[in-house]
Amino acid sequence: MKLFIDTANIAKVEEISAWGILDGVTTNPSLVAKEEGADFKETVINMCGLVNEVSAQITATEFPEMKAQADVYSSWHKNVVVKVPMTVEGLKTLNYCSSKGIHTNTTLVFSVPQAIMAAKSGATMISPFVGRLDDLGMDGMDLIADIMEAWNHYKFETQVLVASIRNLEHVVRAATLGAHICTIPYDVFLELPQHDLTDKGLKKFMEDWESISN
């Protein structure tokens, strides 16, 4: 299972990549807007020096401009993954990128038919947004379960990237469903290595060690 961090903040990517377990980064225009003053291209290239896959989202909405943006972004670094919105124009762009060997991440996926369309267009990854479905009172992880079940029947090479993660339970369920990738916000990432029993157990080991080594 690959672990990505969902941020446009280079310091956070540096911090988590130092753990040695980080496979990639996902950014989106909203995350980029939070990093005032940072140059997008420079940020993406710097992140590419830290991890193998960095999603950079195109902002055009019509195929000719989307295709041109995909060409530009993919020329920045071999680790750039062009993030393409799940629209009809996006499908054309995914198809184009696939024919050129450009890696892609299809964003804003909210249904099984959208997942299948993106996979058939040659997307490298699809990003179903679980948290935003939860926000509507649905269970976003049901969509991941449905997509993984469909994937079991066919030979799609497209990886399922669980996006819009809000808590540890999303990560646990993604893993048990066999999703290929999770993209995780920084605050949730910090919780991943933690367990109360680890802290308590380590404290006791240290106390016992002190009692014999003095």
Q: Where do contacts with ligand E4P occur on this chain (CB under 6 A)? A: 6, 26, 28, 107, 127, 129, 131-132, 163-164, 183
Choose between 62 and 135: whose C-beta lies nearer to ligand E4P.
135
Q: In angstroms, what is the minimal distance from the CB of 175 to ligand E4P?
A: 17
Residue sitting closest to ligand E4P (CB): 164
Choose between 136 and 212: whose C-beta lies nearer to ligand E4P.
136
Choose between 160 and 198: whose C-beta lies nearer to ligand E4P.
160
Choose between 36 and 210: whose C-beta lies nearer to ligand E4P.
36
Q: In angstroms, what is the minimal distance from the CB of 35 to ligand E4P?
A: 14
SS3 letters across the chain: CEEEEECCCHHHHHHHHCCCCCCEEECCHHHHHHCCCCCHHHHHHHHHCCCCEEEEECCCCCHHHHHHHHHHHHHHCCCEEEEEECCHHHHHHHHHHHHHCCCEEEEEECCHHHHHHHHHCCCCEEEEEHHHHHHCCCCHHHHHHHHHHHHHHCCCCCEEEEECCCCHHHHHHHHHCCCCEEEECHHHHHHCCCCHHHHHHHHHHHHHHHHHHC
Q: In angstroms, what is the minimal distance from the CB of 206 to ligand E4P?
A: 38
Q: In angstroms, what is the minimal distance from the CB of 47 to ligand E4P?
A: 14
Catalytic residue ranges: 83
